Each structure stands twice: as structure tokens, then as C-alpha cells.
């Protein structure tokens, strides 16, 4: 395999936080992403929470010691717990950059609530329903299977953490990421959709759709069943060393 194709997916550790922050800041524009708008220190605080906290985990694609991709997953809804954990850095960012107080995009994104019905909101908040928080790939490694490998690995790691399903929100305009989830067998779920975001769900427990009140088509039920069987046949991630390597 060439160098650009060779990578291993592993759990991120504290030593990776700076590299994750660099990759994150180079992957998103401030006008499109609140953490980047708030600055590098705030972005770093989010990864500190996602790596050191008990509610989330982060996977990285490691190519010869270089982090070329990342995906993070929270065991449940993440917006509020992450904000609370990073509140100190949020305040410092606002103090260092008072102009942010007048950034409408910041408050619009910070204060927005998903336009879901009470029933669908309860579905999203159901215990065991994990949520992907972020994903990014180094521009030099895109198109080489990094993101699909990271997305696929979340199924094993989340299942071992007790999750019954994972949802991932993708901007409707992000066709390349949407294709990754579709090809990976994640089901598009209109019940969770917002005006600008579509959600894809990977079911780790085949009975979970009925538990949260979702009615699947026969084809979708077969897809969930097959996916669950494949996941059950995978070797677990037990045997990882302290730094998350195989």
C-alpha cells in the first residue's frame, strides 16, 4: 500500500488533542462552524471533553504517526453537555474577542433548537441513542477511504459502550458525506430531519427502531438485521493497549 493509503483506526488519547485541534481548525471555516468561530482554545476544549470525559470518545485515522482523520461520538445528545464542559473557554473567547457578541451567526447557531415534534425529540433523546458529533479528514487524504473506515468503526466502539444505535447529522448540501453513510448501510431517518440537516442512523440493536416508535419498511428491516449480524461477527475492540492501538 502507498503511504497515502496506509492508516490505522484507533482511539484518540490526550497526546492527540493538539493534532486533532489543528485538523479541525483547518477543515472548517469560522462562518460555517461555531467552535472555529470561537477560536482554537475553544476547539481544543471540545476535544479535551470528548477524549477525557466519560460521555464520548474520539477515533482517529493514524498514518505513520500523523492524524489524517477523526470522528467523535457522544453516548447521547452532546450539545448541552459539551457546552457546559467548555463554558470557561467560551467565556474567555468572548472576553478576548468582544466583537463576537455582535455576531448574529454565533447566537443563531448557539441558540437554535432542532425543529422536531415532541415525539421525534423524545426519540432523539432516548437512552442508548448515540450521536456523532464531528468528522473531518485531512484534505490530502480525502478519497482514500479514511472517512468510511472511521464511520464503520463507530459501530463497534459504540456497541461496546452500550449504545443501541448511532445517529449522524449531515448538512443536506454535503453530498460526499451523505454518500458515505448511504454506502455504509446507515438509514436516512426523516423523523429527525431539520430544515438544513438530514440524519442517518446505524442500528446496533435490531429491535431498537420499534422501541423508539419507528416503523421500518421490510427492506429496511432486512438491512438492519443484516447489519446487526455483521456487527455481531466482528471481533471486539478489547485487546487495545492503553494508547488505543491494536
Report how many domains make up the chain: 1
- CA-based radius of gyration for the chain: 18
Residue 205 lies in a domain: yes
CATH number at residue 111: 3.40.630.30
With a cut of 60, say whether residue 229 has pLDDT above it. Answer: yes
Pick from 140-149, 188-197, 217-226: least confident: 217-226
Asked if pLDDT for residue 42 goes beyond 90, the answer is yes
| 126 in a structural domain | yes
How far is CA 202 from its chain centroid? Answer: 12
> Any idea what DSSP says for residue 58?
E
3 occurs within a structural domain? no
Residue 238 lies in a domain: no
In a domain, 99, yes or no: yes
Closest CA to 202 of 176, 178, 223: 223
Contact in structure between 48 and 41 (CB atoms under 8 Å):
no
Which pLDDT band holds residue 219 (cuts at 50, 70, 90)? confident
Least confident range of 8-17, 30-39, 182-191, 216-225? 216-225
Helix segments in 28-164, DSSP class H: 34-38, 40-52, 79-85, 87-96, 104-111, 118-124, 146-160
**Domain annotation covers residue 32:** yes
- Which pLDDT value is given to residue 111? 58
Confidence of residue 73 (pLDDT cuts 50, 70, 90): very high
How high is the pLDDT of residue 95? 92
Cα 99 to chain centroid, rounded: 30
Instruction: Tell me, yes or no, whether 87 lies in a domain.
Output: yes
Three-class DSSP labels, 167-203: EEEEECCCHHHHHHHHHCCCEECHHHCCCCEEEEEEE
Q: Please answer whether residues 62 and 18 qualify as being in contact, where contact means their C-beta atoms are separated by less than 8 angstroms.
A: no
Q: What is the domain range of residue 143?
A: 8-233
Position 195 in a domain:
yes
Amino acid at each position: 500500500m502507498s503511504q497515502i493509503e496506509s492508516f490505522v483506526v484507533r482511539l484518540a488519547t490526550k497526546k492527540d488533542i493538539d493534532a486533532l485541534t489543528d485538523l479541525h481548525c483547518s477543515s472548517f471555516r469560522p462562518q460555517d462552524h461555531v467552535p472555529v468561530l470561537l477560536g482554537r482554545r475553544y476547539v481544543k476544549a471540545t476535544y479535551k471533553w470528548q477524549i477525557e470525559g466519560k460521555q464520548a470518545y474520539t477515533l482517529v485515522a493514524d498514518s505513520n504517526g500523523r492524524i489524517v482523520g477523526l470522528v467523535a461520538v457522544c453516548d447521547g445528545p452532546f450539545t448541552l453537555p459539551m457546552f457546559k464542559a467548555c463554558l470557561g473557554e467560551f467565556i474567555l473567547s468572548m472576553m478576548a474577542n468582544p466583537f463576537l457578541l455582535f455576531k448574529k451567526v454565533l447566537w443563531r447557531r448557539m441558540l437554535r433548537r432542532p425543529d422536531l415534534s415532541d415525539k421525534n425529540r423524545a426519540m432523539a433523546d432516548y437512552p442508548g441513542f448515540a450521536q456523532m458529533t464531528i468528522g473531518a479528514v485531512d484534505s490530502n487524504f480525502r478519497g482514500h477511504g479514511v472517512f468510511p473506515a472511521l464511520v464503520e468503526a463507530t459501530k463497534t466502539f459504540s456497541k461496546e459502550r452500550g449504545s443501541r444505535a448511532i445517529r449522524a447529522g449531515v448538512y443536506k448540501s454535503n453530498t460526499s458525506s451523505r454518500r458515505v453513510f448511504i454506502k455504509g448501510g446507515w438509514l436516512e431517518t426523516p423523523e429527525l430531519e431539520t430544515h438544513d440537516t438530514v440524519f442517518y442512523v446505524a442500528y446496533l440493536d435490531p429491535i431498537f427502531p420499534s422501541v423508539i416508535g419507528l416503523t421500518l419498511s421490510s427492506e429496511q428491516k432486512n438491512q438492519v438485521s443484516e447489519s446487526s449480524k455483521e456487527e455481531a461477527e466482528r471481533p471486539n475492540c478489547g485487546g487495545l493497549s492503553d494508547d488505543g492501538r491494536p
